């Protein structure tokens, strides 16, 4: 399935999406008129709280970046 097909199918079915990073619930994104808004479910991802994203994939990439940054700092 192409990314365009995935996005079309996703947008037709859901207004909310849970983002998990390494089996941890990073947060939930909900669709609004401008895209997707992020709601953190764990302190690590609080820096993304309330941020607006154009797509679910963009929000997931941002959460992965936050997780990766923390992992680098812990090393």
Give the start-to-end residue ranges of the domains of the chain: 10-74
Residue 17: strand pairing partners: 29
Answer whether 26's CB lies under 8 Å from 40's CB.
yes
pTM of the model: 0.76
Distance between the two ends of the chain, CA-based, in angstroms?
A: 37
**51 vs 47: CA distance, rounded Å:** 9
Q: Where are the alpha helices (DSSP H) in the chain?
A: 3-13, 56-74
pLDDT at 11 exceeding the cut of 70: no
Per residue in 31-62, pLDDT tens? 988 999 999 999 999 999 999 999 999 999 99
With cut-offs at 50, 70 and 90, classify the pLDDT of residue 3.
Answer: low
With cut-offs at 50, 70 and 90, classify the pLDDT of residue 74.
Answer: confident
């Amino acid at each position: 399935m192409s990314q365009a097909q995935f996005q079309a199918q996703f947008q037709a079915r859901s207004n909310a999406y849970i983002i998990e990073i390494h089996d941890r619930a990073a947060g939930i994104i909900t669709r609004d008129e401008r895209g997707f808004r992020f709601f953190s479910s764990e302190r690590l991802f609080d820096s993304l709280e309330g941020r607006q994203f154009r797509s679910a994939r963009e929000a997931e990439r941002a959460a992965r970046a936050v997780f990766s940054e923390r992992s680098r700092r812990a090393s």
